[in-house]
Amino acid sequence: MKFFDCNCYFGHVGLPAFRYASNSDELVNELDFCGTDKALVYHSSMRFDSPIVGNKVILEEVKNKPNLIPTWAVLPFQTNELARTGDEFLEEMKRNNIKALRAFPDEHRYFLNELTFGELFELMEDKSIPLLIRSNWEAASNLLKSFKKLIIVVTSHGPHPQDRYFRPLLEKYENLYIDTSSYLLDRGIESLVEIFGYKRILFGSGYPENYIGSSLLRVAQAEIDEDAKKAIAYDNLDSLIRGVKL
């Protein structure tokens, strides 16, 4: 089975994991160790330093590594740190072959809402660019209310299972996706697939916050149809990336 990881990063952090990939070579080695075929990655500096730094570092790091697909982090245009307008930002994305964006509203201290990101998110809706967010369900819920077509992937929503928060959102908003990195719940994937189908679940490891092997074995041994399993492991994310119209 092939695996495409939507949620992993490399690079140094202040309080690092006991083991982690400090650069893209080490990440490729760890992916090979686990049998992950491809990963949608970010660099630690995009999250823990600044996207001003990290969005450049990631491009250098993934050169000549075709199985590492880079992403960028967003900041409000009003501070003029990354770009002045959405069009300008998307032009830069196109030039650098960036197919997905990430938001870290807690680390970067902004409101993840229409007021702050209306212009960009409307353009992303139009171009089918996925937004991967790392935030709690309250913020995700507010965003979903405003943007009905924006592809929103909520990652690292754990560790305690939070189905009572997010299942109503999955029911109401077809543009909501979740990753498996922190979905530890026993029989959770099986139950989600039965009720909501398999198309909005993406394999994510959360590495190096979590072990790649945890989510990997969980998905590989989920008690669901083989087609559903393959889709979660690889095809769902692959389709999202292929569907970007930049």
**Binding to another protein in span 174-233, by CB under 8 A:** 182, 184-188, 190-191, 206-218, 220-221, 223
Measured from the CB atom, the residue of 22 and 78 that comes closer to another protein is 22
- Cβ neighbors of 20 (< 8 A, separation 6 or more) are 10, 13, 26, 208
- Cβ neighbors of 171 (< 8 A, separation 6 or more) are 196
Pick from 162, 175, 230, 241: which binds another protein (CB under 8 A)? Answer: 162
CB of 35 to another protein, least distance (A): 3
Work out whether 25 is an interface residue with another protein (CB under 8 A). Answer: no
Work out the burial of residue 97: count CB atoms within 10 Å of its CB; fewer than 13 is exposed, 13-18 middle, 19 or more buried.
exposed
The DSSP letter of residue 81 is: S
Contact 6, 203 (CB under 8 A): yes
CB of 25 to another protein, least distance (A): 14
Helix (H, G, I), strand (E, B) or coil at 154: strand
CB of 66 to another protein, least distance (A): 18
Contact 103, 73 (CB under 8 A): yes
Write each residue from 101 to 140 as x if it is in contact with another protein (CB under 8 A), else as -, in one continuous string. -----x---------------------------xxxxx--
Kindly state the tokens that stand for 129: 């660019």
The length of the chain is 246
CB of 234 to another protein, least distance (A): 15
Residues engaged in binding another protein (CB under 8 A): 13, 15-20, 32-35, 106, 134-138, 156-165, 167, 182, 184-188, 190-191, 206-218, 220-221, 223
